[in-house]
C-alpha cells in the first residue's frame, strides 16, 4: 500500500537520502518516492507498518510530518452557533481595541481565524485582513460569511495552511484567539509571526490558562499555558512585553462536571 506524507524541512537531495536510509530500515517499508517541491513523500509499505513509528523517525531526523487532517471539519458549520464563543471573541476584540492602536492603515492578521469570529470584527476599522487557518472547512464558512456580509473581499487575504503561504509582505497587528494550544511548536510560530510583523507592530494572544486537560474531549498539544512561560518565550523571540491579564472566564460542562476556565490576554510589541 502507499501512504503520502507531507513533511517539513525537506529541501535537498541530501535530506531525501537521509530520509530514505532511515525509513527503508523499517520492516515492511520497501519504497520511498520524494517530491522536494511539494514536500511530499510517497511511501510504499505493508499494512503492518506503524505510521506513528514512521512519524516519530521523521521528527527525530528533523523532518516532522505535517498533519493535514481537518480537525475542525465536524465543528465548522455549527461554530458560530455557540454563544459562549461569540461572547469570548467579542471580549477579546474589545480589550485589543482598548489597548493598541487599530488604525485605518492597519494591516491585521488573525492567526487561527476559524470562521472569523475575531478577525471580521476588525474589518470596518482596518485597511486589510490576513486570515490564516489550516482547516479548509472553517475557511469555507468564513468565505461564505464574507460573501453574505458583502465585505470587500479584495481587502482580505485567505491563507492556508500557514503563515509561509501568505502573499501580504508584512502586517502591523497580529491577533490570535484560542489557537496557540493547538500548536505543537509555539516557539517556531512566534518566530514566523515576528518576521511578518512591522517594527512597532503588536501581537495579541488569547488562550486558556494552564488547565487539567478537561477543556477538550480530544488531546491537544497544550492544556493551556503558564502565562509567564509564554511571556518569556515572546521576549526570547524579540518582543517587548505590554500586558498580561485574565480577560475572560469560560464556564463549561466537562467530563469532570461544570468547570471554570480562565483565559489570559497577552499583548506584546515588536
Ligand atoms: C479553537 S479554534 C478558534 C477559532 C477562532 N480564533 C475563534 O476564536 O473562533 C482554533 C482554530 O485554529 C486553527 N488552527 C489550529 N492549528 C493551526 C495551525 N497549525 N495553523 C493554522 N491554523 C490552525 C483551527 O483550524 C481552528 O480554526
**Residue 132 predicted with pLDDT over 90:** yes
Task: Identify which of 112, 122, 184, 261 to mutate to test ligand 1's pocket (most ligand atoms within 8 A of the CB).
Answer: 112
Pocket of ligand 1, beta carbon within 6 A: 72, 85, 89, 112-114, 117-118, 132-135, 138, 161-162, 177-179, 182-183
Residues whose CB falls within 8 Å of the CB of residue 139, separated by 6 or more in sequence, listed in order:
113, 131, 133, 158, 160
Q: Are residues 252 and 179 in the same domain?
A: yes
Q: Are residues 83 and 179 in the same domain?
A: yes
Q: Where are the beta strands (DSSP E) in the chain?
A: 2-7, 29-35, 40-45, 65-66, 107-111, 128-132, 156-159, 171-177, 197-208, 240-254, 257-269
pLDDT of residue 133: 97
Whether 148 is covered by a domain: the verdict is yes
Which bin fits 16, alpha (ψ -120 to 50), beta or left (φ > 0)? alpha
CATH code, 247: 3.40.50.150
Residue of minimum CA distance from atom 4 in ligand 1: 114
C-alpha dist (Å) from residue 242 to 2, 61, 123, 237, 270: 50, 37, 24, 14, 10
Q: In what order do the strands lie in the sheet with 257-269?
A: 156-159, 128-132, 107-111, 171-177, 197-208, 257-269, 240-254
Whether 240 is covered by a domain: the verdict is yes
Q: Are residues 33 and 157 in the same domain?
A: no
CA 154 / ligand 1 centre spacing (Å): 22
CA 134 / ligand 1 centre spacing (Å): 7
CA 209 / ligand 1 centre spacing (Å): 17
pLDDT in tens, 11-46: 999 999 999 999 999 999 999 999 998 889 999 999
By the 8 A CB rule, do 88 and 151 touch? no
Closest CA to 173 of 245, 104, 117: 104
CATH code, 20: 3.30.70.100
pLDDT in tens, 193-204: 999 999 999 999
Q: Are residues 13 and 137 in the same domain?
A: no
Of 66, 89, 109, the residue at which a domain comes to its end is 66
Of 45, 66, 87, the residue at which a domain comes to its end is 66
Indicate the number of domains in the chain.
2
SS3 letters across 10-57? CCCHHHHHHHHHHHCCCCCEEEEEEECCCCEEEEEECCCCCHHHHHHH
Q: In whole angstroms, what is the distance from residue 35 CA to residue 235 CA? A: 37
Give the residue numbers spanning the domain of 25.
Answer: 2-66
Q: In whole angstroms, what is the distance from residue 22 CA to residue 57 CA? A: 8
Whether 71 is covered by a domain: the verdict is no
Greatest alpha-carbon pair distance for the chain in Å reads: 59
CA 112 / ligand 1 centre spacing (Å): 3
pLDDT in tens, 204-246: 999 999 999 999 988 999 999 999 999 999 999 999 999 999 9
Task: Identify which of 115, 141, 182 to mutate to test ligand 1's pocket (most ligand atoms within 8 A of the CB).
Answer: 182
Q: Are residues 138 and 255 in the same domain?
A: yes
* Confidence (pTM): 0.85
C-alpha dist (Å) from residue 22 to 27, 51, 90: 11, 14, 49
Mean local confidence (pLDDT), 134-146: 95
pLDDT in tens, 74-98: 999 999 999 999 999 999 999 999 9
State which ligand 1 atom lies nearest to the alpha carbon of 189.
19
Q: Are residues 210 and 119 in the same domain?
A: yes
By the 8 A CB rule, do 260 and 251 touch? yes
CA 127 / ligand 1 centre spacing (Å): 23
Amino acid at each position: 500500500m502507499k501512504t503520502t506524507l507531507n513533511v517539513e524541512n525537506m529541501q535537498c537531495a541530501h535530506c531525501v537520502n537521509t530520509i530514505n536510509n532511515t525509513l527503508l530500515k523499517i520492516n515492511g517499508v520497501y519504497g520511498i518516492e520524494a517530491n522536494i517541491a511539494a514536500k511530499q513523500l510517497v511511501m510504499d509499505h505493508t499494512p503492518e507498518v506503524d505510521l506513528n513509528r514512521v512519524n516519530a523517525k521523521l521528527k527525530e531526523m528533523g523532518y516532522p510530518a505535517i498533519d493535514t487532517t481537518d480537525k475542525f471539519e465536524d465543528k465548522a458549520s455549527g461554530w458560530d452557533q455557540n454563544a459562549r464563543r461569540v461572547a469570548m471573541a467579542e471580549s477579546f476584540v474589545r480589550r485589543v481595541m482598548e489597548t493598541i492602536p487599530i488604525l485605518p492603515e492597519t494591516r491585521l492578521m488573525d492567526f487561527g481565524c476559524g470562521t472569523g469570529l475575531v478577525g471580521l470584527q476588525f474589518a470596518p476599522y482596518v485597511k486589510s485582513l490576513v486570515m490564516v487557518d489550516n482547516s479548509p472547512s472553517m475557511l469555507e464558512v468564513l468565505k461564505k460569511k464574507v460573501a453574505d456580509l458583502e465585505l470587500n473581499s479584495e481587502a482580505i487575504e485567505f491563507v492556508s495552511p500557514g503563515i509561509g503561504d501568505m502573499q501580504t509582505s508584512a502586517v502591523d497587528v497580529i491577533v490570535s484567539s484560542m489557537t496557540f494550544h493547538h500548536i505543537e511548536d509555539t516557539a517556531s510560530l512566534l518566530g514566523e509571526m515576528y518576521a511578518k510583523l512591522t517594527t512597532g507592530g503588536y501581537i495579541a494572544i488569547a488562550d486558556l490558562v494552564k488547565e487539567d486537560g478537561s477543556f477538550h474531549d480530544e488531546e491537544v498539544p497544550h492544556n493551556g499555558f503558564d502565562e509567564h512561560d509564554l511571556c518569556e518565550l515572546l521576549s526570547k523571540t524579540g518582543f517587548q512585553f505590554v500586558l498580561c491579564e485574565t480577560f475572560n472566564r469560560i464556564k463549561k460542562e466537562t467530563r469532570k462536571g461544570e468547570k471554570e476556565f480562565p483565559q489570559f490576554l497577552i499583548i506584546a510589541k515588536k
